[in-house]
Amino acid sequence: MSKKDQKDRDWKAEAKALRSEVKALQAQLGAVKAAPIAAAVARPAKAKPPVSPLAPAGGFPALPVIAGAEFASAAAGVRYAGRTDVMLARLCPGTAIAGVFTRSSTRAACVHDCQAKLKMQVPEGAGAAIIVNSGNANAFTGAAGQASVDAVTSAVAEALDMPASRVFSSSTGVIGEPLPHDRIVAAIDGLRGALSDAGIEQAARAIMTTDTFPKGASAEVRGKGGKIRIAGIAKGSGMIAPDMATMLVYIFTDATVAPDLLQEMLSRSVDDTFNAITVDSDTSTSDALILAATGKSRAAPIETRASAGAEAFEEGLRAVMEDLAKQVVRDGEGATKFVEIRVTGAESVGDAHKVAMSIANSPLVKTAIAGQDANWGRIVAAVGKSGAKADRDRLAIRFGDILVAEKGWRVPDYSEDAASAYMKQPELVIGVDLGLGRAARTVWTCDLTHGYIDINADYRS
C-alpha cells in the first residue's frame, strides 16, 4: 500500500470517528433540550391534600340527570400527567345560556371570549357546549391566549357539529404560561365518545385545582305542568373574593326560560351568593358562572317574572348557588373554620356589605379565629376601617349567642372562658349590629392558617 493510500485510509477513519463523536454529543444535547419539554408533558401529579375537615358529610351528592345535558372528562396532560383535567358538556339544540364573570381588568382570554359570545345572535336550532381545563389559566398570555381559545372552541364545534359561537370555554390554573391547547384538542374525540348524562361528577373533578373535594348541588321545584330540575358544579379553594364570580361554576336546568329572563335571574342572585363569600380577598382572572337551560322539562315555559313557576325556579336557582358558594368557603385553602358574618342595623345594604367584608377579609380576625382566640377587639378595628358609617357607642358584637361588647364597652358579665369555648367550634357566627338602621348583609368566610401559606408558597412547583 502506498503512503498516499495509507494517509487516505487514516484520514477517513479519523473522520468517521469524529462523526460518531459528534452524533453522540448531538444526542446528549438533544436529550438536555428535550428534558424540560418532557418534564412539562409528564410532570407527575402532586400528592392530593387531605380533604377539608369542613367538607360536606357524605361526599359528592347524587345530582339529578338534566335532560339535554351530557358530560365527559379526560386526562389531557395540560399540566400534570395522569390527572383528569378537561371536561366537556354538550347541550341540546334550543338551550338558553346566561353567564356572569369576573370584573378583573386582567381577565383571561376565555372570559373575554365568553362575554362576546353571549352578546351574539343565537343561530336557530343551535346547541351549545362548554369545555373547561384545569392546570393552566391561559391568562396574561397575550394574543396567543385568544389563539388558544379559538383552537379549542373551533375543534369542539367541529367535533359536535355546532357553531363555534356556541362553544364556551374556561381555563383555571397557573397564570402567565401559554396554554398547551394542542393537548386539549387531541382529547376532544375521546371526550365526544364518552359523553353521558351521568358524567357530571367526573366533570366536577376535572375542573379542580387546589380543591380537596368536588362540589355539587341540586334542587327540584314544581313548575306548571311538571317538575324542574337544577344541578350545578363548582371549583374554588383559593383566590376567592367577590367580584362575580369567585370561581368556576356551571349550573344546568331542564327548565324552559327566556334567555333575557334567565340572565336577569342569574345576575339578581349573585350578590347574595357568590359575591358574599371570601377566602383570601383575591379575585381571579378567570372567574366564570355559566347557566344553561335545556328546555326539556315538561313544565310550562317561563317567559316573564309573572309566569307560573318563575318564583319557585328562581328560589331553587338561588339555593343551588348559595350551596355551591358555601362549599367553596368550606374548601378554603388550609381552612379549619367555617365562619358566617352577620351585619345588621346598617344605614344601607352597601354599608352592611362593607363592614361584613372588612371583617371577613381581615388577616387579624382570620388568624385569631384560626387560633381560637376570642379577640373581639379585632372585630372593632375591622368595623372602623371599613369605610361604612358606624358609631362606636351604638355597636354591639356577638360570638354566636354570646354578647361580648356593646355601647362602646365590653359587657359587664363578659366571660372570656365562655367566648373561648365557643371559638373552638368548627362553625362560627360573628354578629355585628351597627345600631343605625335596618339594612343587613350576611357573608361567609374561613380562617387563615399556615396551611394557606404552605399551599400557595409552592403552587407553581
- From the annotation, which residues make up the binding site? 209, 235, 246, 333, 456, 461
Cβ–Cβ under 8 Å, residues 78 and 134: yes
Catalytic residue among 95, 246, 285, 445: 246
Whole-angstrom distance, CA of residue 128 vs CA of residue 151: 17
Whole-angstrom distance, CA of residue 49 vs CA of residue 446: 18
Active site residue 344: no
Whole-angstrom distance, CA of residue 248 vs CA of residue 138: 14
Residue list, annotated binding site for substrate? 209, 235, 246, 333, 456, 461
C-alpha cell at 450: 399556615
| CA neighbor of 345 nearest in space, from 289, 394, 280, 307 | 394
For residue 294, how many other CB atoms are within 10 A of its CB? 23
C-alpha cell at 146: 385568544
What residue type is 121 in one-letter code?
A: Q
Q: Are strands 288-293 and 248-253 parallel, antiparallel or unpaired?
A: parallel
Whole-angstrom distance, CA of residue 147 vs CA of residue 154: 10
Catalytic residue set: 246
